[in-house]
A and B are shown apart, each in its own frame.
Chain A
Amino acid sequence: MASDVTSGSPSYDEEAESTVQIPNITVNTNSIDHSLDAIENQLHSISLNTSIDERTSPSADYHLESASEINNGSLKENVIETRRNLIGESSSSRRSGLWATNLEAEVEVELEAEGDGALSSPSSSGYAGERGSSGSVSSASGTDGIRELRDNGSSMGDDGVLSLDSSEAQWIRGKRHADEDDASISWRKRKKHYIILSHSGKPIYSRYGDEHKLAGFSATLQAIISFVENGGDRVKLVRAGKHQVVFLVKGPIYLVCISCTEEPYESLRGQLEFLYGQMILILTRSVDRCFEKNPKFDMTPLLGGTDAVFSSLIHSFSRNPATFLHAYTCLPLAYATRQAAGAILQDVADSGVVFAILMCKDKVVSLVGLQKASLHPDDMLLLANFVMSSESFRTSESFSPICLPRYNPMAFLYAYVHYLDVDTYLILLTAGSQAFFHLKECRHVIRVETVLSKSNVLNEVQRSMSEGGLRIDQLPVDPSARSGSLFPLNQRRPAPETVVGIGGPAGLLHFIYRSIYLDQYVSSEFASPISAPAQQKRLYRAYQRLYASMHDKGVGPHKTQFRRDESYVLLCWVTQDFELYAAFDPLADKAVAIRICNRVCQWVKDVENEIFLLGASPFSW
């Protein structure tokens, strides 16, 4: 937390640092590449088993970009000069000129570096020592590499998908870099901005920076959107160099994403939809009426204290495949255990609860719903994010109005939330605001708790959480030797900490299997060489691109895709029943990879009782 406060300028310093280390920057780009490689290699030697070539990674680009900008004095000056013309004259006056130039140049905001370190703020003091010794380690991946080393003991075994280990969770809670505005160099360098504003141009939310200081910027955005609307058209996407500006208009609410992450338009747009959904979850679409009556309406006070909800959602965009698969995932459990949990929930559901959900982090243990009521996976994601990112739910039983945008965006349900242990929580959704005391007092809830613990469900949940789910190195080699269960009787699986990942057969690195009927997916645990958060993020981005290309309405739907680049072989296979996304070593043989995919599918089918919630699917009522 403390490190975030000072991050604005340090990220700049860091670039300066990197230029010192890299000679001949303006002369020969190849040499940069090589020196980058050298750095990466150095990093790899620090970070255990990292072997993936990172030359093409965004972080490497960032290296290059920033280095040349700083090194070449005149270039830098030009850039800044242009910025002044376009956007501001001095830091005290945040001015945004519109149509001073053409649209494209106007949005050419400079945002190369993310400082993302979504994980590692560039100024994180803890890494200073290591950085010093390894030379110019300033890329995000660099610090992540080191981070991996540091966290080795504590979080390596984690699923890494939405795992909020303590250091990650820390920054999620508050808004980051609240002191920035569009005149700050650090703000312009952020890789991905999300901004919400009203149709009168008043800022509602910004991922980075102070909303009020960004008033001029959001006015510019509104002017762009409205200008196009005036012409009877709609602006969806503006490309400006390597930046994409994606717009989403939801009645009186405008959402904008400015990104240089090279994610597909569809993905970014989907993320804006989630952001809007999260807002609806907190407020319902009743806010539309407020804007209808009074366009001046300022809704920021209504969203007070929800910064953490939005930042954690944004964080999950590159770490939780549910955000692009539109499916949910279950905690692996023995069939009988999940059945027991379901039966207990069913009991409560019979007493007037619309939905009863038992979750462990972002994974579903079990869920039941009122007849005919259906719960959309996207709603589940937003609900889980809301609960997990709101600190107050952890401390006591709570009752909060929430709206499920896919269920009914206009009205509130009421959520009774109770944490049973540090990761496991029960959500009961009711229709009445008076239900809290009923639920609290009534024996049902008390019974849920006692029964869950007596029936050992909670223990099993904790055990599964620590043991993890499907591991590629356990992919059955010989079909006849299949056990058909992840939970062989009386046999604890070795804890992941004790296993040094060697990757799966035939270079299989990771896979995601999405069942279309169940609206659920299962993803293998990450193992080396994809163990650092930055690598996982990159793989998710690759999956996301794959997903977008497979679902491209223009040319699709496709059945299979085989793609090889420097980092992976990616294989996607879509049938009526499932979608399989698999990543292999870049040298993997195509025929072998296909055979392995078949085996993965067989494996998933063999253990589907344990990795999916069957029969009780929210859609099967």
Chain B
Amino acid sequence: MPSRRRTLLKVIILGDSGVGKTSLMNQYVNKKFSNQYKATIGADFLTKEVEFEDRLFTLQIWDTAGQERFQSLGVAFYRGADCCVLVYDVNVQKSFDNLNNWREEFLIQASPSDPENFPFIVLGNKVDVDGGNSRVVSEKKARAWCASKGNIPYFETSAKEGINVEEAFQVIAKNALNSGEEEEIYLPDTIDVGSTSQQRASGCDC
């Protein structure tokens, strides 16, 4: 089959509860938004196919629950992630302060091979609320934090209005892809019949 090689990217979305992780995902994948808050329980999974630089990708988006009681899910969720999206609510200071915890927690649990350069992306969500009047975290402050953590790309988004959502996920795909470039080399052995195979052979349950 001459189909193009497709790449699957695992994207984890993290952030305090209520910052709009699920809404961002819904806006991105379904172009839908609901004002009703429905807490995510455990995790939610969505897939979306994107084309980027003439290559086909499937984003496997892991929308996690923000509540602390679900944090025990840890390792399992974060293992093998290609990109981590940190979300906060520009109208809630605490959600911004917690970004650091989320990032650290992720790096501990996922223990990526090159933590310094692991592709994160930060989204300041809900910029539409109250015409921006209730905003407490300034863009400048957010960008400064991102810069201090190794120049994490930053986007101000509104899941409700669909602002910057598409753009943000484009970058997510791009960064995840770049970090995934170093392919593992798969080098199997060949049986050495002369010396060791006899022990090995008798080692099997026959």
Contact = CB atoms under 8 A, between A and B. Distances in A.
A407 B10 contact: no
Interface string B180-194: 101011111111111
Interface string B45-69: 1111100000000101010000000
A97 interface: yes
A413 B49 CA distance: 39
B80 A230 contact: no
Contact of B60 (A93, A201, A374, A401): A201
Given A93-B29, A215-B47, A374-B206, A202 B190 contact: no
A412 to B, nearest CB: 5
Interface string A347-381: 00000001000000000000000101110100000
A374 B201 contact: yes
A215 to B, nearest CB: 4
A100 interface: yes
B197 A212 contact: no
B190 A411 contact: yes
B191 A226 contact: no
A431 B193 contact: yes
B186 A201 contact: no
Interface string A87-130: 00110111111111000000000000000000000000000000
B145 interface: no
Given A97-B41, A408-B204, A200 B79 contact: yes
B30 A90 contact: yes
Contacts of B58: 212-213, 215
B141 interface: no
A309 interface: no
B80 A200 contact: yes
A563 interface: no
Given A223-B43, A296-B82, A298-B7, A284 B75 contact: no
B197 A99 contact: no
Contacts of B186: 283, 286-287, 290, 302
Interface in B57-115: 58, 60, 62, 72-77, 79-82, 110, 113
Contacts of B113: 293-294
A226 B75 contact: yes
Contacts of A432: 190
Contacts of B190: 401, 411-414, 431-433
A258 B81 CA distance: 26
A517 interface: no
Interface string A569-599: 0000000000000000000000000000000
Nearest to A432: B190
A216 interface: yes
A219 B8 contact: no
Size class of the contact patch on chain A: 35 or more
B149 interface: no
Given A199-B79, A230-B75, A406-B206, A95 B44 contact: yes
A411 B45 CA distance: 37
Interface string B32-46: 000000000111111
A431 B30 contact: no
Given A227-B76, A372-B198, A431-B191, A97 B44 contact: yes
A229 interface: yes
B191 A372 contact: no
B45 A219 contact: yes
A198 B193 CA distance: 32
A540 interface: no
A377 to B, nearest CB: 9
Contacts of B188: 283-284, 286, 401, 403, 410-412
A230 B73 contact: yes
Give the interface centre of B45, B82, B197, B204 by most chain A CB atoms within 10 Å: B45
A132 interface: no
B80 A198 contact: yes
A100 B60 contact: no
B80 A296 contact: yes
Nearest to B46: A95
Contact of B42 (A93, A100, A290): A100
Nearest to B186: A290
Contacts of A93: 26, 29-30, 46-48
A215 B204 contact: no
B106 to A, nearest CB: 13
Given A94-B47, A284-B188, A432-B190, A230 B72 contact: yes
A393 interface: no
B178 to A, nearest CB: 13
Contact of B41 (A99, A225, A296, A401): A99
A452 B26 CA distance: 66
Contacts of A374: 201, 204, 206
A200 B201 contact: no
A335 interface: no
Contacts of A300: 8
A373 B196 CA distance: 11
Given A201-B60, A376-B204, A431-B197, A295 B47 contact: no
6 contacts: A93-B46, A219-B62, A296-B180, A354-B197, A376-B206, A412-B188
Interface of B: 1, 5-8, 10, 26, 29-30, 41-49, 58, 60, 62, 72-77, 79-82, 110, 113, 180, 182, 184-194, 197-198, 200-202, 204-206
Interface of A: 89-90, 92-100, 198-203, 212-213, 215-217, 219-220, 222-223, 225-227, 229-230, 283-284, 286-287, 290, 293-298, 300-302, 305, 354, 370, 372-374, 376, 401, 403, 406-408, 410-414, 431-433, 619
Nearest 7 Cβ contacts at the A-B interface = A200-B80, A226-B76, A99-B42, A295-B80, A216-B45, A286-B188, A215-B60
